[in-house]
Chains A and B, each alone.
Chain A
Amino acid sequence: MPEHFDVLILGAGPAGLAAAEILARAGRTVGLVDEQAQPGGQFGRERIRQRPGRSGRKLLEWLQHRNGITYFPGHRVVDCDPHPALVTESTRGSTRLTGGALILAPGARELVLPFPGWTLPGVFCAGGLQALAKSGWPVRGRRIVLAGSGPLLVASAHTLRHEGAEILAIIEQAARGSVARFLAGLPTWPAKALQTLGYLPTWARIPYETGAFVAEALGEERLEAVRIVERGRTRIVPCDLLGTGFGLIPNVEAAARLGCVLTPTPHPSVRVDGLQATSLPGIYAAGEVTGIGGVERAQIEGAIAGYAAVGNLPKARALAPKLAHWARFGEAVNRHFALRDPLRALARPDTVICRCEDVTLGEIDSAGGQGSVKLLTRLGMGPCQGRICLAALAELRPGYGTVTGSQAARPPLFPARLGTLAGEPAPEPHP
């Protein structure tokens, strides 16, 4: 397999695939690196028990037959440098891939907002629960509550119901008026309005409560019930599983390691210009990593990055109006489903914030006055490398985020074999 390409793309989700298509059409060689076993990213995840669905199968065939694209599924990028190069690990060993240019399209992950009981077995991220169900984890007959904010809750409910789960309720924290204004604005994006209509059968059968939130997950050994607060009224709902979705945050670790300028926001994103160019020469970013805005915006950004990387600036610039149209959709979601303050006040002193190192909010608060929170509590020092807890803390205790932010710029980007970091190729597994 070649190891040098005209353009490297990190991420085979909507943005990365859109960029790959344009680069391949322009006759460029592309190294398309993705952590997942199948293309499409989190958005395009296929049910595994069926054959890949039509879009997935088409994608795979297209990737396999499109001249110029070398697809690296199941490859996790553990380090990178701005030359540019990506150091990857897979079950087949470790490789170092280089390119003339690099397009970063690593997508986003779910924001975890700790609340009492969130570490009980049976509590999941809504998107993670949806992905598990798609990959064959049985949910048939399980009683599920989905709570948090945004359209992802409805999409998760749709999948889970399809897989035979009993969805007891969707608990949406946004106010009824906010949700109504979001829906009223949908006709601006007819495709989204249609997609929403597709969810209506799900929506119509499930209690959808607005202005409400899950204040606590209850149970001894595992989740047994949730405590729901709605306009000051509290009730206990017995259930088997809870899926929480508080929104998405960009995966900026590779960009930070390269030295790209990020936004100075609680959950940083990569700064790009109108051509998706980052602050570093030859390095572009597209999709959720430049700010949460949905699949259509990601695809357009990917296409712009692809055109920009081949120097076709008129085509890249021509997409600007379309991008603005879809960027407004992302803004509408972010605005109407913005998290409200009561959700940030749920965690108690004994609520665990960092699961890797077992650090509670109380320990964090008492260390704050005495020294470096990170050094004293070891917050963010575990194998998740702070992805979960530092993002959570940016919501719960905004002041601490800046103290801990520098971690992202260091290698490895994910836990990596020491042999890989020493530059030794991993042995090929026995056939």
Chain B
Amino acid sequence: MNPHLIVIGGGIVGAALAATAAESEFGVTLIESALPSMGATGAGMGHLVVLDDALLALSARSLELWREIQDRAGTGYRNTGTIWIAETEADLPGLRQQSLDLAACAVASRLLDHRELHALEPELAHDLPGGLLVPGDATVYAPKAVAHLLDRARRAGGRLLLGQTVATLTEGGIRLAGGERLAGLVVVATGASVPRLLPELPITPRKGHLVVTERAATTIHHQLVEAGYLKGVHGTDEASVAMNVQPRPGGQLLIGSSRESGNCDPGVSDPLVARMLMRAFRFLPSLRERRAIRIWTGFRPATPDGLPYIGQVPGRPGVWAALGHEGLGITTALGTAELLVDLLRNRPTRLDPAPFDPARALFAS
């Protein structure tokens, strides 16, 4: 008989797990307390990006898995590529290093000088000295990607329980708020949402803002990110902003990004939006005259060391974690699911799971 796997959480990570597990002969039940994609998944940009940090291998493998999806169009997948943009000459050595790091993981990239950069993206400010093009990066519409993954899980025999809340983890399974018990292996993939079923794994919601513009003619074709973006991701500032602009099909632009720790108010902060936009104008002055139609916020599930928890939870037999992907959950969901299903099956894994082992949170000094 196939083992039963209970996936808690209907965001991109839970959906990827449900699809991957159902397609490798698990009986799968996915439980979502609201509707799919209502957390960070639905709030984010849907940028599939290979990051040059401790998540390099996981994100590179995940990009491969995204490309393997047959019905990519159904997820809104577009191979936009990313251009990392140097603000000054001082950023160029970092981009050269980033290019070498990516190459070590077989990820192609190309350094752009001033002329090449402006030929590709003429709306960029004229004083920007260069950039790094990562042509394999892409964008998806995450809610559609989740719907696609859940559909695959369903077709492989999985079932979905929407609007059902898990009250507690029990020995050998879970208990729903309504009292019903389900038996099976459990994966917690609840991102930044509360209540926390695994309080021993610290997660802090890290608030972000996004602005979307009206449709209009644009020459922006790549996702454009400033070279200093990772400083904000890894930094501990109370509030930081970095330019991150994504062209959507039809001429809309998504404009980010902001990061705030310790702010759980979902309201839009006008001063922070102003800062974020000013940063974007530094790189794309033409944005000033574009019109915004909507601004919203979301919460990234952040861990203290910036790495997700993927693996067995110590002291809880049969309970596994797949959460804490901060702003990289859409990119790394497929790699996370592959890694976790291999661990569940006790098979050799393609990537080293040690950095993501949840045990590190329990034994941290």
- What is A's interface to B at a CB cutoff of 8 Å? 79, 81, 370-372, 375-376, 381-383, 385, 407, 410-412, 415-419, 421-424
Are A419 and B294 in contact, CB atoms less than 8 angstroms apart? no
Query: Which residues of B sit under 8 angstroms from A370, Cβ to Cβ?
Result: 36, 147, 150
* B111 at the A interface (CB under 8 A): no
Set A375, A407, A415: member contacting B292, Cβ < 8 A: A415
Query: Which residues of A sit under 8 angstroms from B287, Cβ to Cβ?
Result: 418
Interface size class, chain B:
35 or more
Known contacts A410-B268, A421-B295, A424-B278; can you find 5 more A-B pairs with CB under 8 A?
Answer: A372-B42, A407-B294, A412-B292, A418-B255, A422-B288
In the assembled complex, 22 residue pairs joining A and B whose CB atoms fall closer than 8 Å, in A order, are A79-B270, A371-B10, A371-B36, A372-B36, A376-B144, A381-B212, A415-B291, A416-B292, A417-B289, A417-B292, A418-B281, A418-B287, A421-B270, A421-B292, A421-B295, A422-B274, A422-B277, A422-B281, A422-B288, A424-B278, A424-B281, A424-B288
CA gap between A79 and B293 in the complex, in Å: 12
Set B277, B290, B294: member contacting A385, Cβ < 8 A: B294
Are A410 and B35 in contact, CB atoms less than 8 angstroms apart? no
CA gap between A417 and B216 in the complex, in Å: 13
* B79 at the A interface (CB under 8 A): no
* B296 at the A interface (CB under 8 A): yes
Chain A residue nearest to B36 in the complex (CB): A371
* B273 at the A interface (CB under 8 A): yes
Are A421 and B42 in contact, CB atoms less than 8 angstroms apart? no
* B38 at the A interface (CB under 8 A): yes
Classify the secondary structure of A's interface with B: loop
Are B295 and A417 in contact, CB atoms less than 8 angstroms apart? no
CA gap between A422 and B255 in the complex, in Å: 13
Give the residues from 196 to 213 in chain B that come closer than 8 angstroms, CB to CB, to chain A: 211-213
CA gap between A10 and B37 in the complex, in Å: 37
* B143 at the A interface (CB under 8 A): yes
Chain A residue nearest to B290 in the complex (CB): A418
Are B277 and A381 in contact, CB atoms less than 8 angstroms apart? no
Are A422 and B278 in contact, CB atoms less than 8 angstroms apart? yes
Are B292 and A372 in contact, CB atoms less than 8 angstroms apart? no
Chain A residue nearest to B150 in the complex (CB): A370
Query: Which residues of A sit under 8 angstroms from B36, Cβ to Cβ?
Result: 370-372
User: Which 4 residue pairs spanning A and B have beta carbons closest together?
Assistant: A422-B277, A419-B288, A375-B143, A415-B291
Chain A residue nearest to B43 in the complex (CB): A375
Are B35 and A372 in contact, CB atoms less than 8 angstroms apart? yes
Are B268 and A411 in contact, CB atoms less than 8 angstroms apart? yes
* B146 at the A interface (CB under 8 A): yes
* B214 at the A interface (CB under 8 A): yes
Interface membership of chain B positions 291-319, coded 1 if the CB is closer than 8 angstroms to chain A and 0 otherwise = 11111100000000000000000000000
Query: Which residues of A sit under 8 angstroms from B150, Cβ to Cβ?
Result: 370
Are B143 and A81 in contact, CB atoms less than 8 angstroms apart? no
With A79-B270, A410-B294 as contacts: A418 and B144 at CB distance below 8 Å = no
CA gap between A196 and B280 in the complex, in Å: 57
CA gap between A317 and B339 in the complex, in Å: 71
Are A417 and B147 in contact, CB atoms less than 8 angstroms apart? no
Query: Which residues of A sit under 8 angstroms from B144, Cβ to Cβ?
Result: 376
With A372-B36, A375-B37, A376-B144 as contacts: A418 and B213 at CB distance below 8 Å = yes
Query: Which residues of B sit under 8 angstroms from A422, Cβ to Cβ?
Result: 273-274, 277-278, 281, 288
CB proximity of A155 to chain B, nearest CB, Å: 32
CB proximity of A383 to chain B, nearest CB, Å: 5
Are B213 and A375 in contact, CB atoms less than 8 angstroms apart? no
With A370-B36, A371-B36 as contacts: A421 and B274 at CB distance below 8 Å = yes
Chain B residue nearest to A423 in the complex (CB): B274
Interface membership of chain B positions 262-274, coded 1 if the CB is closer than 8 angstroms to chain A and 0 otherwise = 0000001010011
Query: Which residues of A sit under 8 angstroms from B288, Cβ to Cβ?
Result: 417-419, 422, 424
CB proximity of B18 to chain A, nearest CB, Å: 14
CB proximity of B38 to chain A, nearest CB, Å: 6
Set B37, B211, B268: member contacting A418, Cβ < 8 A: B211
